[in-house]
Amino acid sequence: MDITLHPKQSIVHRDPHPYKVVAAGRRFGKSFLAAVTLYEKAFETDVPGKNIKIRSDGSYWDLTNEVVYYVGPTFKQARENLWHVMMEMGQGLIKNVRQNEGEIQLINGRTIRFKGADDPDSLRGVGLSYVVMDEYAFMKPFVWEYIILPALTAAEGGALFIGTPDGKNHFYDMWSAAMKGLDPSSGKPSNDWVAFQFQTKDNSHLTEKQLEALINATSEDAYAQELEASFEATGGRVFNISQFPVVDGIKYRGEYVVAVDLAGFGVANGRNKPKEVRDDHSIAVVKVHDKGFHVELIEHGRWDVRETALRIMKAYRDYRPVKLGIEKGMAKNAVETYLEEFQNSYGIYFNIEPLSHGNNKKEDRIKWALQGRADKGKITLQDDQKLPAEQKWVGKFLGQAVDFPNPLAHDDLIDSVAYAVDQLADLSLGWDMGTFDEWRPLDDLSGY
């Protein structure tokens, strides 16, 4: 691999301790360091040309069937965090991939697997030679102590724990013990453990402009934890209810944008239906004005692909946004087929902006889009008390905001708003809205 680590990453990479605990601020480069470590450990050998490790007692151990794990709080989050980085970095090293299973088979016969700590049973039954546990603060500690650690014993493997602090929880306990040269499990002195602490600004690859943008997007309460990797911060949640005032309209003039976060579509009995146990589809209508952002409406639910397209068309008809964006992916491709059909039928056309995570973790993307703006009072919510019960959305939005970034909680509503304010809000407020064709419903009953 032809890679370049910045100096602080190199300190961790070169350190010989088998167990490393790294507390680091956002954008330090944790994911890149994790990817480098995974490939390095999967190709590590004490006998050139063979997958052999010489253990402490002098015996040889075949590593061919010893797996390397990358564990995130959930499998979905693990995939979102690192899969694209691993694919780009692994060119020439990868023999085969099983994307749905999160498995990378390498040219030397070794395997790297992506796993979620929320499914402990999926972690059992294999021998491990190394594991990277990303965002360990958001995992149950027994996953390491009772499942992962025993599986590393035969190969005398190691582990990299890496993440941003979340107050003084079990991640802090592990980091604190390792800083003192102690084994976190026994509390006894150990030469196997080491700990590091780095701030966001320690990433020398970040420009001053990028660092300033991160600082401006982070609330004062979260600054110490998120950018300075401080365990002394209160930790816990990113948002609170008071950051999102609920108002009955705003006096400022502005333009609307609509952001659509699709949960995906399952296929059953030859018909498109929403998958079971998924987030809702979320259609966020946001008014952008010179003082900030007013969330006018969030329509959410589990609809089939045709109904989803119709609801997107209705949002366009009712609000005439200057921009309408849909998150990229297979679900977007599916719904666009119906949108094209409806546009041709109704004689009304609009462009669809592709919304992208930009190779950022969802947690980071939502946080950077909303946290600083919400902390400065720039995001307001439209009172939904006059809406029918099935259309109310404010309570669900606030609930998701308070739960965030719990990997087991839903985040579809706040994600759609994050897309709207971050990727669609660069408006030309002088846009001549009269250039669009008028909507003329063909069916008085349905309104389409």
Ordered by where they begin, the domains of the chain are: 7-216 (3.40.50.300), 237-435 (3.30.420.240)
Residue 59 phi/psi, 5-degree rounding, is -80, 155
Q: Which of 217-221, 361-365, 420-424 has the highest mean pLDDT?
A: 420-424
Question: What Rg, from alpha-carbon coordinates, does the chain have?
Answer: 24
Q: How confident is the model at residue 393 (pLDDT cuts 50, 70, 90)?
A: very high
Contact 133, 161 (CB under 8 A): yes
Tokens representing 369 are: 């889009």
pLDDT digits (tens, 9 = 90+) for 7-19: 999 999 999 999 9
Res. 233: pLDDT tops 80 = no
Mean pLDDT comparison of 157-161, 348-352, 421-425, highest-scoring range: 157-161
Output the pLDDT for position 221: 61
Classify the phi-psi angles of 100: left when phi > 0, otherwise alpha if psi is within -120 to 50, otherwise beta.
alpha
Pick from 96, 142, 104, 100: nearest CA to 123? 142
| Average pLDDT over every residue of 233-250 | 79
| d(C-alpha 392, C-alpha 93), whole Å | 50
Average pLDDT over every residue of 38-58? 95
Overall average pLDDT of the 405-422 stretch: 88
Asked if pLDDT for residue 267 goes beyond 70, the answer is: no
Contacts made by residues 11-14, CB under 8 angstroms, sequence distance 24+? 11/196, 12/160, 12/196, 13/37, 13/40
* Of residues 442 and 109, more confidently modeled: 109
- State how beta strands 254-261 and 323-327 pair: parallel
Phi, psi of 308 (to 5 degrees): -60, -45
> Residue 220's pLDDT band (boundaries 50, 70, 90)?
low
Tens digits of per-residue pLDDT, 296-344? Answer: 999 999 999 999 999 999 999 999 999 999 998 888 999 999 999 999 9
- Identify the weakest region by mean pLDDT among 118-127, 164-173, 190-199, 368-377: 164-173
Is the pLDDT reported for residue 158 higher than 50? Answer: yes
E strands, 93-189, are 94-98, 103-106, 111-116, 128-134, 158-163
DSSP per position, 281-306: EEEEEEEEETTEEEEEEEEEE---HH
Mean pLDDT over each residue of the chain, to the nearest integer: 87
Rounded to the nearest angstrom, the gap between the alpha carbon of residue 202 and the centroid of all alpha carbons in its chain is 22
